Structure 1
Amino acid sequence: MVHPESLRVVSQRLGALPAPCAACDVRERNFCAVLEPAEMAELTRILTEAQVPPHGTLFREGEPADFVMNITRGAVKLYKLLADGRRQVLGFRFAGDFIGLTAGPDYSYSAEALSETRVCRFGRRRLDALRERFGRIDRRLLELSVDELAATQEQLVLLGRKHAEEKLVSFLLLLGQAQVRRGEPGEPIVLPMNRSDIADYLGLTIETVSRTFTTLRKRGLIALDDTTHVRVLDRAALEALATGTG
């Protein structure tokens, strides 16, 4: 659930609002895009909105997985705490992404807002009931699960055979590609996560991440407008680096 200490605003049930989903900027990328108007009307009856401030917790690993969520604005970090206390960032999710779906009764990871984030929440049991009635929901969720698997495979490649420079360049290019898929400009590449988050995702130290950013800038491959915006100056060289041919 969205934790009380993180929650800034929770709306009334959206079923009471006039055509709430008509104004959603990311509906076409959410699982609900496949629903017919009558089905959408039923979905809104089990939907609530929540707004979470930066660093607010949406849910924690090991808690009962009572809700699943569509991100409609902002960015979210997914992570697990390892037995030795270290943190492994599993990935980053953005507007249009779906989080919280799990095979078991509890969440298998934690989710934290990186920026001001808005989500649509669905009670898991009530959504499961709709899934039984509307088969197209299950088909869409399967598509999203396949996308999730592809993202996991990308991370395994990043953590496996690549060295630090290749990892960071690949990460930046993937972020830019994801912006384009969301209908946003591909540049500048926006980094809502901090250097520590990037390090924990790529399996590097913060110092290595910062040093690699500096090296790429000095080589004239990227420009850093600030800590959260990266401009690509030599895409061909970056793509060669990402594939290990540069």
Structure 2
Amino acid sequence: MSLRVLRHNGHPVAPANRGDADPLAGPAQGDCVGCQVRHLAVCAALPLDQARALETLAGDIPLKAGEVLAREGDSRREVFTVTAGALRRIRLLADGRRLVAGFLMPGDFIGFSGATHYRHSIEAIVDSELCAFSMQDMRTLCSRYPELERELLERACVELDATRDNLMSLARMTPLERLASFLLDMHARRRRQGYSGDEVVLPMSRTDIADYLGLTVETVSRSFTRLRQDGLIATDDPHRVALKDRKRLASLAEMRE
């Protein structure tokens, strides 16, 4: 496998290939058998013995906070699963404004698309790790394992539905409702990762959240303050939010449904 990924400094990086590892050394941290997000990843569609076929083709890519995985306009040559950290999809408009199209968390797949080039830039919010495959290797595996192809198609459909729902929400919701919906979504994603409790971890900045929700940073800050004053959340740390009343948050997020 040959993978080349552009970092923020423009230099290509070749990730470590797991197929080169000593098979007698036991499962490394990045191996499928020890992967902490396997239950969330597309490879969960395969039994563990078949997932070994993925492992021999995989490469691990570490990214420091702020480093770029792919730039808008780059050719698509690889597919990725986020195994640790968090990334954002962004697009810069002609007038210099930045749009955040979404956030990628552990277990999320950056994969197939009808486009031959990236429509967004993808960059790490915090130190992150990804499992990478060449596009051709993934196509070969899909041909060999139909269940993997079905999983990819299902995920593509779910992502499309989520994008449509988000666009409708941005058009119909007030700033407070948008933030409530966002916090509940982040909470649901954290629970899928296996965490319990009512705490939401927000690795992204308030500016990221504003650019994602289509609001100004000032409006996002005021909305956080309002939710806190109303007793719906607690925010001692800007990157950790305790949901104090999820029922009221859900009612607020669904106010215009």
Q: Tell me the equivalent position of 1:224.
A: 235
Cα separation, 2, equivalents of 1:78 and 1:221: 29
Q: Tell me the equivalent position of 1:14.
A: 18
Cα separation, 2, equivalents of 1:236 and 1:4: 42
Q: Tell me the equivalent position of 1:215.
A: 226
How much does 1:98 deviate? 0.2
Pairing 1:166–2:177 present: yes
Q: Deviations over 1:153-179 (max 9, x none)?
A: 231132110011111111111111111
Give the secondary structure class of the aligned counterpart of 1:200. Answer: helix
Give the secondary structure class of the aligned counterpart of 1:28. Answer: coil
Q: Tell me the equivalent position of 2:80.
A: 69
Cα separation, 1, equivalents of 2:142 and 2:251: 44
- What residue identity is the alignment partner of 1:2? V
Pairing 1:110–2:114 present: no
Q: Deviations over 1:165-202 (max 9, x none)?
A: 11111111111111112211242111111011111111
Cα separation, 2, equivalents of 1:78 and 1:186: 28
- Conservation of the 8 A alpha-carbon contact between 1:102 and 1:108: no
Q: Deviations over 1:9-40 (max 9, x none)?
A: 96531123344211100112111112245532
Q: Deviations over 1:61-117 (max 9, x none)?
A: 110101110011111111222233222111111111101422121112111111111
Change (3 A) 1:64 1:235: same
RMSD: 2.0
- Conservation of the 8 A alpha-carbon contact between 1:179 and 1:186: no
Q: Tell me the equivalent position of 1:60.
A: 71
- What residue identity is the alignment partner of 1:234? D
Give unpaired runs (5+ residues) of structure 1.
none
Give the secondary structure class of the aligned counterpart of 2:16. Answer: coil
Q: Count the aligned residue pairs.
A: 244
The TM-score, its normalising length taken from structure 2, stands at 0.88
| Counterpart mapping for 1:82-231 below 5 A | 82-231=93-242
Percent identity, aligned pairs only, is 40
Q: Tell me the equivalent position of 2:6.
A: 3
